[in-house]
Amino acid sequence: MNFCGTLRKMKTNYCQDTGKVSYQLNLDNEAVCDLNNYIGKEVSISFEGKIFCTNCNKKIRKAYSDGLCYPCMTKLPQADMCILKPEKCHHHLGTCRDPQWGLDNCFQPHTLYLARSSSIKVGITRGEVPFGRWMDQGANEGMTVGIFPSRIEVGKAEYTISEKMSDRTNWRKMLTNDVTDVPFDEFIDMAKGLLDEDQRQHLVENPKSYKLTYPVQEFPTKVKSCNLTKMPYISKTLTGIKGQYLIFDNEVLNLRSHAGFEINFSTDNA
């Protein structure tokens, strides 16, 4: 089997009956194969130096922010500062890079969630049950704790909570499955105590948690990150997938950080 194209982050699927996560290799924005089928088999990934902007498709020397060229990164609303720091939304000031895009994407219901990916972290995203977000982060468990009417409002809540609770994932701990087993309950109580009355009205009354199980044969004890610009050819046994990482024993490759890279993916196994 052989596939060639420009990388995007892997497509993911979650089975609510089993909690199992499945992955598809995403080339040119199309799912080309089920990667779970290659766990335990040798795969090859080669990069010949070509990178293309994931927005305008221009050939570039360096990619920024999910595979964008520099001009697109500085102009697109989805690459603006407020996407990473939604509490700094400036739409109301009339300075949004694309006001209609902001209305369509940011002024829609957003979720405040907890995720167990290394420690317990707080996060935000669109969608009432953000399975896609949890799978991208490699969370072992996730819970929606609030639904807010806009990105700026949920961003302010996240910012307040993050002063006492992490809003980041330790990717090394996530990949070695060094994950805390502390119950969500005490973090929910902490969040309630930090938010003001207006923010608390958006919290879910009886939040439900979801467990996620990843296709990993054996979690590594240590991890070393691979970079295709420094290691343009990889031919190893795929031992697992978690988050947006392919695991090859103690080496890992973050496919999302290589968005826009033209690669050749192959395996001798049918």
pLDDT at 163: 86
Return the structure tokens found at 79: 């690459």
Give the best-scoring range by mean pLDDT among 128-132, 168-172, 214-218: 214-218
Of 65, 66, 40, 69, nearest to 52 by C-alpha is 69
Residue-range domain boundaries for the chain: 2-70+216-266, 74-211
Q: Is pLDDT of 90 > 90?
A: yes
Is 0.85 surpassed by the pTM of this model? yes
Of the pLDDT bands very low, low, confident and very high (cuts 50, 70, 90), residue 92 is: very high
Tokens at 253, concatenated: 């490759």
* Position 117 pLDDT exceeds 90: no
Residues with Cβ within 8 Å of residue 104, at least 6 apart in sequence: none
Q: If pLDDT is split at 50, 70 and 90, which confidence band does 199 have?
A: very high
Number of other CB atoms surrounding residue 48 within 10 Å = 11
Residue 8: its pLDDT value, please?
96
CB neighbour list of residue 167: distance below 8 Å, 6 or more residues apart: 121, 122, 123, 158, 161
Residue 118's pLDDT band, with cuts at 50, 70 and 90, is confident
For the chain, give the mean pLDDT. 94
> Region 39-66: what's the mean pLDDT?
95
Helix 185-194 and helix 151-162: axis angle, to 10°?
110
Does the pLDDT value for residue 76 go beyond 70? Answer: yes
Q: How confident is the model at residue 9 (pLDDT cuts 50, 70, 90)?
A: very high
267 Cβ contact list (under 8 Å, min separation 6): 1, 38, 41, 42, 43, 44
pLDDT value at 49 more than 80? yes
pLDDT(270) > 60? no
- The sign of the CA dihedral 81, 85, 88, 94 is positive
Residue 268 has a pLDDT of 77
Kindly report, residue by residue over 98-116, the tens digit of the pLDDT: 999 999 999 999 999 999 9
Q: How many other C-beta atoms can be found within 10 angstroms of the C-beta atom of residue 164?
A: 12
| Cβ atoms of 239 and 217 closer than 8 Å | yes
| pLDDT at 269 (0 to 100) | 60
